Every structure is written in C-alpha cells, then in structure tokens.
Amino acid sequence: MIKGNYGRIVNVSSIAAFTGGGRAATVYAAAKAWVDGFTKGLAKELAPHSVTVNSVAPGVIDTPFHVKAATGSFDAFLPLIPLGRVGTAEEVASLIAYLSSDDSSYITGSVFHVNGGQYFG
C-alpha cells in the first residue's frame, strides 16, 4: 500500500470497546479498544501515503456470535437498542464496503458505530 501510494484498511471492533462489555467480557472489550486505538495511530502513520484506516464497531448483530450469547433469543437485547431491533450482517458489510471504496477517500482514523442507537460514541 505504501509503495502504491493507495490503500484502504477497515478494522472490525465492537461496541464492547466503549461499554466495557458484559459479564466475563473484560478481556474481549480491552482487545477491541486496542483495535480502535491501533486504527487511529495507523491512520496517522499511513495518511501521507494515501492509505486510509478506519474501524467499524458493531453492536448486537444477527450473527452466530450473538445468537450463542443470547442463547437463541435476542429479546434481552431489544430494550437496550433504541431502534428496537438487532442489526444485520449486511448493514455492517455495506459500511465496510463504503469505507473500502474511493468514495471514502477523506475519511481516516474514524470509528463507526453500527448499533441501532445503543451507543452514540
């Protein structure tokens, strides 16, 4: 990317980086917070080479990860989400696709929250 003077890096973090996670998720939350700090630092390093670096921090998304955490039901999460529903993998993927495109060439060092209003970081 540096040699080509162009690139897009999109890291995936989590809402847990900002909320501290839940019970027994301290290490997970800390690891995701590291991803966001790394994103911001790397964005500064690579900006002179026209490489952008951003992070996407999903909330509760309808994936096997959250299905397992929810023991088969998302009902416990819904009161915490102002939009009243869980997100879809496609909603996260479309943001990642945008951040990977030339249309996002002036966006770097940012963390994007995809969480239905659960957290407004």
Give the catalytic positions in this structure. Answer: 28
- Asked if 32 contacts 57 with a C-beta cutoff of 8 angstroms, the reply is yes
Tokens 């952008």 found at: 52
Alpha-carbon distance of 39 to 21, in angstroms, equals 20
**Where does residue 32 rank: exposed (0-12), middle (13-18), buried (19+ CB within 10 A)?**
buried
